[in-house]
Amino acid sequence: MSQAPAFARTVAVIGGGPAGLMAAEVLGAAGCAVTVYDRMPSVGRKFLLAGRGGLNLTHGEPFERVVSRFGEASPALRPALEAFPPDAIRAWAAGLGQETVVGSSGRVFPRAWKASPLLRAWLGRLRSLGVDIRLRHLWTGFDGAGRPLVAGPDGPSEPIRASAALLALGGASWPRLGSDGAWTEILEADGIAVASLAPANCGLHVPWSEPFRARFAGEPLTRVAIRFGGDVARGDPIVTETGLEGGPVYALSAAVRAALDRGSAPRIALDLRPDLPEARLAGSLSRPRLRQSTSTFLRKAAGLSPVAVALLREGPGDPLPVDPAALAARIKGLLLPVTGTDGIERAISSAGGVRREEVDGRFMLRRRPGIFVAGEMIDWDAPTGGYLLSACLATGAAAARGKLDWLRAR
Ligand SMILES: Cc1cc2nc3c(=O)[nH]c(=O)nc-3n(C[C@H](O)[C@H](O)[C@H](O)COP(=O)(O)OP(=O)(O)OC[C@H]3O[C@@H](n4cnc5c(N)ncnc54)[C@H](O)[C@@H]3O)c2cc1C
């Protein structure tokens, strides 16, 4: 006799990013007949891009610190994160044959570094759970009966026949990968409050001189600290054509963007030798220069790379001070003006989304009973460090459990 599924219902998940795929896994494992709809020709495109520079899946720091990274959204996300904490994410990846390692900064990566082996194994698991993935299917809203409407490649929007639906449509960064934020207008027209999607974890624009840009765009600045307001972020930012990008820049980008929005002219301060006290640096710079060029002298006496030396000249625009104390002060606090941030199309993530008061504790839309939401489309934000994917996976799983509870109650 064939075994009856534990929980026989047809459910639709719209959006095949990490949040939607995790929801599909939880629902499929509970015995639901799951169909995932995605507008793109393949799922998980942003997840694959995230893996290009090393898939930072989660973070190894103490759990309370992880929760605190979500700021005001922490209380709303806590139950989901508690139910699927970083250790469980690592165990989940290991279950898909992808052991993880903790980097020196505490960030967690698959040993394979990229996302593709994990996604391949994940899709295999979903297939074995009977999850049906329909590509090139665009969600366009709801019909009069509240059923989600999806337009396939061959025809206009049709209502989905499912007991319940879960939306995991992402934010609006890198729109060419599928999540373009077009859903915001549809939900707003439905009376659901959405905080505008804005670039988060994005590069900062610094007005480089043409020679500096031509020579150094693409070069990393290693082991520096960047200060803005009361915050300090350390790491290896990269010089770009338009300014700076990379972990420490992203960490400060929200505060800098807020300052720009207020109309102020923000300046970030770079410490090019954060581990060396200023007095010791000034002492090293007091050595006789002999006949060394400035670059050679600064490389030997202060351990600065060519890009760091060029940046010292770039900053305030005036000649480099000769006085060792003044030179040390510039190396430890190089002020760079910021004129803007990268647009949402180049940002790592987007702030804003479905306002938290619009969803209940199960991630169901209060105004649309039976419709659940998950992932980056909800109004929360976090720095880079694996927190974004952690919350997408955790809310995907939590919304799926919420949906199961809701279906059982009916
Ligand atoms: C360059 C880059 C690097 C990153 N690196 C990391 C990292 O290392 N660690 C980390 O934690 N995070 C990282 N992120 C962020 C992370 O990838 C995202 O937060 C995450 O993918 C969001 O997951 P999601 O499932 O909510 O949405 P998405 O991954 O955006 O998926 C949403 C899906 O919904 C589909 N969709 C949208 N609208 C519709 C519609 N109307 N109809 C049908 N389908 C639709 C889209 O096609 C897409 O497949 C990175 C992001 C970028 C851009």
Domain that holds residue 104: 10-199+350-409
Q: What pLDDT is stored for residue 158 in this prediction?
A: 86
Task: State in Å, rounded, how far the first CA of the chain is from the last one.
Answer: 28
Please name the residue whose Cα sits nearest to atom 3 of ligand 1: 50
- The span from the CA of 402 to the CA of 192, in Å, is 19
The string of DSSP codes covering 301-315 is HH---HHHHHHHHHT
Residue 276 located in a structural domain: yes
Q: Is any ligand 1 atom within 6 A of the Cβ of residue 174? A: yes
Q: pLDDT by residue (tens digit) across 345-375?
A: 999 999 999 999 999 999 999 999 999 999 9
Count of domains forming the chain: 2
What average pLDDT does range 173-196 have in this prediction?
A: 97
With a 6 Å cutoff on the Cβ, whether 370 touches ligand 1 is no
Atom of ligand 1 nearest to the CA of 171: 30
Give 59's strand partners. 107
pTM of the model: 0.91
Q: Which two tokens stand for residue 189?
A: 């027209």
- Residue 131 located in a structural domain: yes
243 and 297 both lie in a single domain: yes
State whether the beta carbon of 38 lies less than 6 angstroms from ligand 1.
Answer: yes
Reply yes or no on whether the pLDDT at 243 is more than 50.
yes
Cβ of 51: how many Cβ atoms within 10 Å?
A: 22
Give the ligand 1 atom nearest the CA of 18: 25
Q: How far is CA 39 from CA 126, 151, 259, 365, in A?
A: 18, 9, 36, 22
| Same domain? 253 vs 385 | no
- DSSP-assigned letters across all residues of 28-84: HHTT-EEEEE-SSSSS-HHHHHHTTT----EE-S-HHHHHHTTGGGHHHHHHHHHHS
- Ligand 1 mutation pick, 37, 186, 389, max ligand atoms within 8 A of CB: 389
Is residue 4, in this structure, part of any structural domain at all? no
Element (H, E) at 227: strand 224-228
- Helix 86-95 vs helix 387-409: crossing angle, to nearest 10: 80
Q: In whole angstroms, how far apart are CA 177 and each of 134, 181, 338? A: 16, 11, 28
Q: Which amino acid is at 104?
A: S
CB atoms within 10 A of CB 217: 14
Domain boundary among 341, 362, 393: 341
DSSP-assigned letter for residue 143: -
**CATH code of residue 77:** 3.50.50.60
* Ligand 1 close to Cβ of residue 17 (< 6 A): yes
Query: Ligand 1 pocket check: which of 377, 388, 393, 395 to mutate, most ligand atoms within 8 Å of Cβ?
Result: 388
pLDDT tens per residue across span 5-15: 445 589 999 99
Task: Answer whether residue 162 shows pLDDT above 90.
Answer: no
pLDDT in tens, 66-76: 999 999 999 99
In a domain, 2, yes or no: no
Pocket flag, ligand 1, residue 388 (CB < 6 Å): yes
Atom of ligand 1 nearest to the CA of 169: 34
Per-residue confidence (pLDDT) for residue 330, from 0 to 100: 96
